[in-house]
Amino acid sequence: QVQLVESGGGLVQAGGSLRLSCAASGRTFSSYAMGWFRQAPEKEREFVTAISRSGSSTSYADSVKGRFTISRDNAKNTVYLQMNSLKPEDTAVYYCAAKITFWHTLANEYDYWGQGTQVTVSS
């Protein structure tokens, strides 16, 4: 079992940056691949990025590649999402998710979810 709590969301102007954090409970954080997903109003939840258990492997959606960076600190039970050059289309609720063993790009493959944090990018 793992519980996830996101933080760091807020309002930012286009071109700005935000760093999201996801703090995990428990002693088995390093056993989980971690992912970030986002969901805009009336749209499907979409994959943003994911990272392997050790942090050695990452994957990014084409829409954020080159702008977003995922990282993790297993000693702190925390995963991060650094978001640069933000665009209005990045506006969404961002969710942290944990998956046993290996990461996946499909939301329904993940085992645990945080409550989400709102990111709003103004024009």
Phi, psi of 54 (to 5 degrees): -85, -15
Which amino acid, residue 47? F
Confidence band of 100 (pLDDT split at 50, 70, 90): very high
Helix (H, G, I), strand (E, B) or coil at 48: strand
Looking at residue 32, its pLDDT comes to 94
- Residue 98: pLDDT band (50, 70, 90) is very high
Interval 53-74: pLDDT, tens: 999 999 999 999 999 999 999 9
**Sign (positive/negative) of CA torsion 117, 72, 107, 82?**
positive
CA distance 88 to 120: 7
Residue 37 has pLDDT above 80, yes or no: yes
Q: CA-CA distance, 22 to 45, in Å (whole number)?
A: 18
Residues 1 and 26: beta-carbon distance below 8 Å: yes
Q: Is residue 1 over pLDDT 90?
A: no
